[in-house]
Amino acid sequence: MGAEIVNLRQARKRRLRDEKAKKAEENRLAFGRTKSEKQLTRTLNSKQHRLLDQQRLDPDNRRGKTGRDDQSG
């Protein structure tokens, strides 16, 4: 008889570990980024935000070139 004896508890745990490792690998591919990649993204986003803020029109500052209010009153 060449039947192999299998401990079901150990087999179940091994299967769960393998599934967990597979899921972890998928997550690393989908979400994993290095610290330097995250820092680069943060820096680029910050730079873009500053550039956009520089181009923003100030809604409170609606005065003309003379510095007087446009409304006469």
Q: Give the Cα separation of 29 and 51 in Å (integer).
A: 32
Contacts of 33 by beta carbon, 8 Å cutoff, 6+ apart: 41
Going residue by residue through the chain (73 aa), what tens digit of pLDDT does each one get? 678 888 999 999 999 999 999 999 999 888 888 889 989 999 999 999 999 988 888 766 555 555 555 555 4
Q: Is the pTM of this model over 0.85?
A: no
Side-chain-facing half-sphere of 11: CA atoms under 13 Å: 5
Extents of the domains making up the chain: 9-53
